[in-house]
Amino acid sequence: MKKKILVAGGTGYIGSHTTVELQQAGYDVLIIDDLSNSNIEVLDGIERITGIRPEFVQLDLKDKEGTRKALQEHPGVEGVILFAASKAVGESVQQPLKYYRNNITTLINILELMPEFNMKGIVFSSSCTVYGQPDPENLPVTENAPIKPATSPYGNTKQINEEIIRDTIHAGAPFKSIILRYFNPIGAHPTAEIGELPNGVPQNLIPYLVQTAIGIRKELSVFGDDYNTPDGSCIRDYINVVDLAKAHVVAMNRMLENKSDDKMEIFNLGTGRGVSVLELVNTFEKATGVKVPHKIVGRREGDIEQVWANPEKANNVLGWKAEESLEDTLKSAWNWQLKLRERGIQ
Ligand code: UD1
């Protein structure tokens, strides 16, 4: 019998790629998503890749009774991967209560329901944002680097979520947990059947960059060239979304197969390589042959100067490693944008 996994937020960007990897690894998937920031057609994309349509319930996970009912009607879920959350840093500053309500209520509901349904493990999507700007001696960042005060309500929800999980496990919850701290996920599935679909004007670098390359946006603004980095622009660790998705499968398998005695584990998911904004623009232009009009503007408020991962713990303990090159990853983002145009979407 195939094991069934609940992918909460499974029609979103990382959730859809993870659903594909789970199915290809032999798991059944139940997606619960309220479609507040994603599209029902994502299910078609998933099905075109794997030949399997995941079970789907459209539901806001803040609705605990509704979630309980969905789990009763779709029995047999053994583990949950929680993506469903609001994730725009700027919006979280404007609407903090939306972020606290969405991101915290959803986690509490799921943690409360897990024992009722005998679920054995939860994978939680966290973020490198919990490290803030690490001190120079802590770069690249390991999981032991200090947690810095959050600079946005969004970042704070990730810290609070991690603490809620820690306290729940500490209190003897009958399940395991793995917290994955993502660096900057980018790119799309190599088939270009699924990818990132930002609403409105993109806030993140890659969606804005590809929309500029295809002519939807006039030019990309590079936020600052006066940082203390080799070319003055900010440095991040850009990780391929399919690589990232695969880490979730390994993490889930680790809990369901009892491969570790630890009830809570934390892993950084990155490539280990820091890349500047300007380097990224150059690499995109070389990899695709397409020019990206760009100009340097002032710094973006709240931006971190430089952060990249030390992924050794994930490499050695999980046996997972980011494999895709930055060039291929950027090409996949471009192919996805071309596909969106072909379909008349963006
Ligand atoms: C941040 C958080 C991340 C969070 C994400 C959600 C950190 C280190 N990272 O990512 O945890 O999940 O927001 O949105 O806090 N840039 C431009 N021009 C643009 C857009 C971005 O130059 O139009 C630059 C930014 O200054 C930054 C880099 O590109 O240096 C990446 O930005 P973005 O894609 O927004 O991600 P982060 O801010 O790193």
114-125: b (≥16 Cβ within 10 Å) or e: beebebbbbbbb
pLDDT of 69 higher than 80: yes
**Nearest alpha carbon, ligand 1 atom 2:** 129
Expressed in angstroms and rounded, the spacing between residue 253 Cα and the centre of ligand 1 is 31
User: What's the whole-number average pLDDT of the chain?
Assistant: 97
* Among 83, 346, 335, 314, residue whose Cα is nearest residue 187: 335
User: Does the predicted TM-score (pTM) go above 0.95?
Assistant: yes
**Nearest alpha carbon, ligand 1 atom 9:** 129
Atom of ligand 1 nearest to the CA of 300: 26
**Candidate from 192-201, 223-232, 270-279 with smallest mean pLDDT:** 192-201
Structure tokens at 221: 């603004």
pLDDT of 344 higher than 90: no
Indicate whether residue 205 lines ligand 1 (CB < 6 A).
yes
User: Would you say 103 and 86 are in contact if contact means Cβ atoms under 8 Å apart?
Assistant: yes
Expressed in angstroms and rounded, the spacing between residue 320 Cα and the centre of ligand 1 is 24
Query: Residues 229-287: pLDDT tens digits?
Result: 999 999 999 999 999 999 999 999 999 999 999 999 999 999 999 999 999 999 999 99
Indicate whether residue 234 lines ligand 1 (CB < 6 A).
yes
Give the CATH number of domain 4-340: 3.40.50.720
Query: Residues 324-334: pLDDT tens digits?
Result: 999 999 999 99
Indicate whether residue 128 lines ligand 1 (CB < 6 A).
yes
Which residues are designated catalytic?
154
**Nearest alpha carbon, ligand 1 atom 35:** 204
